[in-house]
Structure 1
């Protein structure tokens, strides 16, 4: 018989206890004063800035381990924290604090001939479980958005960001304490053991929804095994279609930013579609500019005539590289571009570059992705850029939340029916 060591963690018992404490905290948050929640976030931001050196030291430990494991440059970039990024996290906390509180917000109201007055108002979801990989800023973003929307949250970060996430979580805990709110409102799973993830996926009595944020493997695992409802954040197989009516300067600016600003984020472009009519003009210039910036261009047969490209393989259509790599192919028209996106896309973010309003309108109408951009970089696929302060993820499903998930998207609603002795006949 196997004997447990003293330092081993009883994962099921630990997760059950976290779930019970989260449920109790959620009951308090549901009616918490909006200013109290805002105070907690502002205080957390202050603690984060005061402890920036400690957070960077913790991140250095994670970076050293990640480099030893041979993580790609893009993955290291996702993991890296420096003074500027910590300041950005603090700014996000303050921006979320400054937003209108969604809890109790009136969505709709009407009267019925029976004498009843009906309102529909926002309510918290309850307890949210967030499972994410290497980006430590998700600890702050998810914790803050859940708190703002009156939800308790259980955070399970990736092993790569273990120490960084712990340091950020400590600041959130201090903020809650300063504001007089339960520290159990934002809990972090204190182990790398993947058994904790399996437990979260079956905690139907204490977790109301799971938000997975990471690669295809993580999201697929959660979708297959979860008994708790899931807000899916699928991989970002992001396309840019350069239409026949595109402006050359706009095309160059949008494509270069969408691919090279940060290659390791889900809004980075992964596939370039070029209308046949502009291959020898706009297409040539864009691809050469990508090559000049160190991007590997995996091209179809026609584009391989451009020196420096490499032949694309079948698997390149529908791959999320998260690296300085982009697939590129020609298409005869807008319909062919849309067909390609429908076949190989992930319903995340897709873009058209065109000066033709009719083409833009048709693309927007026929591409059913969570985010569709027109003459704008796909790197705008971010809750902060949408004015949400931050996001808990980009939901690619079609139920409840879709696109950037901010505080309002982390609420449900209830109907309140008022009368003056009204009875039904």
Structure 2
């Protein structure tokens, strides 16, 4: 079987098994096993030997230990009053801007993203508070829900990011550098969102009501105290990583210990909260890590079949410029985002797209940031946009209306991709400055 036929068969198997509604990790395993058996005529015992080695090598990777710990930290935070503190703490500092308290969605999600590493947790936690509070104050519904949908996705880009950890393991690049590379692009996206709110509310002042709440410098002082636990967690996690005191996995453990201590000090830690957090973190972690393991096996199978190399040479033969390639990949990832969750997008596409991007001259650290933004776009596009589902559960609005509210922020994120592509140093400067 020639390379092109083998590639078509492999892609066809992926579509077949996942289209049947098979669990993601089972589908990927079946594609790998079937491809090796049908295309290369590997005996079953040899396939089993390869699978056993890949499972052990991937599942025992030290960097993956950070995933369940970060998830557990996020679950503890989710079940405390941290989101209330973020809203109370930010309100006095953003009330003077056009759009006023709408900016609590943007800044609140940015801060929470730097603690949880999860888009869904960020959207759910901040959304529980701000959607109700802003509705009571008669803020524009479209801007309230749309900004929360867009800003909630920052949980994937601003470190610590679970998706970045998975990308780092699969692409074999430094997770610390990836975390550093995500900071400025994340702040840039948040800045674009806030700028849009400012312009929108300046053009139509009725989108944000006249200032009812009046804040003094005394209020700002007490608000800063509310934000202290948030900044403490950020300093513990990111400070530990960038000072070299802790690896990402060790920093996750420090963050979890700090979140437990904060919950204990504020008298919110109960046996039920601890059990619920552990069970939820166990479920999410098992899902994520089994997908990573199965994706590693599929990547190995595709390597045996030479699918990435063949596709890379085919695309290279098209003579696309580096910018043309990124445009094509962007369309490809937006399409995937309509049907797949973020982790699945990364693990399924990376063996094919990363070699092509590197062949075109793109840095793998930069490509990781680009890929995470593409995954973020999928979080706010129907029919499988998880942030849309979270907001539907919070607001009881139709999914189509929420997607329409999120559209301007989807376009702003596309603009961020264009800026990042034209100026890749936005992602690459900080890792060089911090770590070289």
Shorter-chain TM-score: which interval? under 0.3
> Structure 2-normalised TM-score?
0.25
More helix by share: 2
Task: Point out the structure with max Rg over C-alpha.
Answer: 1
> Structure 1-normalised TM-score?
0.26
